Amino acid sequence: MDHLQELKEFARLHARGQGMRPARAAHVLEQITNDTPGDPRSWARVWTLQGDAAARRGDLLDACRHYALARFPSHADEDRRRAQQLCVAAFDEWRRDRRDIERLEFAHPDGDVVCWASGLDSKRPRPLLLVMGGIVSVKEQWAPLLPKLRRLGFAVVVGELPGVGENTCTYHPDSWRLLPFLLDSLAGRARTGEASLMALSFSGHLALRAAAEDSRIRNVLTVGAPVREFFTDAQWWPRVPRITVETLHRLTGVRDAAQLRALLGQFALTDEVIRALRIPVRYVASSRDEIIPAAEHALLSRAQGDVRVKVFDDVHGSPANLGGTRRWLLSSLLRLQFTGQGRQNAAAGSGADQAPGRQPADAGTTSASSMRGNHE
């Protein structure tokens, strides 16, 4: 599959994930003939023009969706950088009329980190829900969910993986430390001591790594997160889509292919780190995932916490099952938060080296311990 065709295939999935109708995405994609910056029929130019049209008619969230796809998969050229700026600007204009979403800017030692937040309150702090997407997902894609999650009782903060969107940090094996940094920065405006992390794809990997070290993280909910095999399996690597590989080159700053493979090997979660996970983990897997190996979620059977996996017959991110994925994650989040299970498991994990008792698995859900026979 050539570069442009691969772009179009992934864009269809990401458009659906943002709530764009398939017919609408197909109409735009038909107009794109190349990915040459500056060409009027190029990827970024066509998507940007459609975003401009949506902005002119006052549909700022629709404009945001088109600009996010214009900068897809990363803002590596001038046209995409402009689309990235327009995406942020459209979102900023949309949220100013609402007055329930604020912009946060943090000076991290590695670079600038920008987040959107709703529900932060120093007088009446709410439990923190930190949300983050993967290597191609900007924080503006979460726009409609911010006020909804706030109304459910959370202080919601949406950020980006290092190197994505407005996050100028470099993606490296210690990038997981960004999550404790954000918890430190948000202390006093949210109950960071009982933080939930809804971290998808590659940010899910960061969340799992951070949770093994930081007891403030009480549960992790993720979709298609790499754990170890993606980073170390030499036989799997040639199957990884070129867009994913090129994006990882850009985010890490590593140009040489061999050096990238060597660096990625340092991301792999060891058995020691996995065993240190003493919290609830909810993992959505896709049976036809073209990016993340199927063995990844089976590795979590070694964790000491309550791990459950929901499998959809789908490709990476389960875009054709977006509604089911969101319902499962949200119901899991609410159950964990309002039954206090995350707090109980964290407390249990701080004592003897003993796994807490597991609740009965949900319908269509598999506990990690029961997956051992199927996947190892």
CATH code of the domain containing 122: 3.40.50.1820
Yes or no: say if 191 and 149 are a contact pair by the CB < 8 Å rule: no
Q: In this structure, is residue 358 part of a structural domain?
A: no
87 and 127, same structural domain?
no
Domain closes at, from 91, 109, 139: 91
The rounded distance, in Å, linking the Cα atoms of 61 and 55 is 8
The first and second tokens of residue 110, run together, are 């590695």
Range of the domain at 82: 3-91
213: alpha, beta or left? (left if phi > 0; alpha if psi -120 to 50): alpha
Domain closes at, from 29, 60, 91: 91
138 and 18, same structural domain?
no
Instruction: Say what the pLDDT of residue 230 is.
Output: 97
Q: In this structure, is residue 144 part of a structural domain?
A: yes
Instruction: Say what the pLDDT of residue 371 is.
Output: 34
Positions of the chain with pLDDT lower than 70, given as ranges: 1, 341-376
Instruction: Say what the pLDDT of residue 342 is.
Output: 54
48 and 129, same structural domain?
no
The first and second tokens of residue 10, run together, are 């992934």
Instruction: Say what the pLDDT of residue 353 is.
Output: 29
Q: What angle do CA 95, 101, 104 make, to 5 degrees?
A: 110
118 and 20, same structural domain?
no
Mark out the alpha helices in the chain (DSSP H runs).
3-17, 22-30, 43-56, 60-70, 78-96, 145-151, 178-186, 202-211, 229-232, 242-252, 257-265, 271-275, 296-299, 322-339, 341-349, 372-375
The rounded distance, in Å, linking the Cα atoms of 154 and 158 is 12
Q: In this structure, is residue 376 part of a structural domain?
A: no
Total domain count for the chain? 2
278-325 pLDDT per residue, tens? 999 999 999 999 999 998 999 999 999 999 999 999 988 888 888 899
Q: In this structure, is residue 96 part of a structural domain?
A: no
Q: In this structure, is residue 146 part of a structural domain?
A: yes
Instruction: Say what the pLDDT of residue 144 is.
Output: 77
Instruction: Say what the pLDDT of residue 142 is.
Output: 87
The first and second tokens of residue 129, run together, are 């829900």
| Mean pLDDT, all residues of the chain | 89
Taking Cα atoms as reference points, which of 210, 223, 331 lies closest to residue 276? 210
313 and 177, same structural domain?
yes
Taking Cα atoms as reference points, which of 301, 294, 308, 292 lies closest to residue 274? 301
Q: In this structure, is residue 354 part of a structural domain?
A: no
Q: In this structure, is residue 357 part of a structural domain?
A: no
251 and 135, same structural domain?
yes
Instruction: Say what the pLDDT of residue 19 is.
Output: 83
Q: In this structure, is residue 197 part of a structural domain?
A: yes
118 and 86, same structural domain?
no
214 and 182, same structural domain?
yes
119 and 176, same structural domain?
yes
195 and 57, same structural domain?
no
Domain closes at, from 42, 68, 91: 91
208 and 175, same structural domain?
yes
Question: Residue 191, Cα to own-chain centre: how many angstroms?
Answer: 22
Instruction: Say what the pLDDT of residue 345 is.
Output: 53
Q: Are strands 102-108 and 111-118 parallel, antiparallel or unpaired?
A: antiparallel
179 and 326, same structural domain?
yes
Q: Are strands 111-118 and 155-159 parallel, antiparallel or unpaired?
A: antiparallel
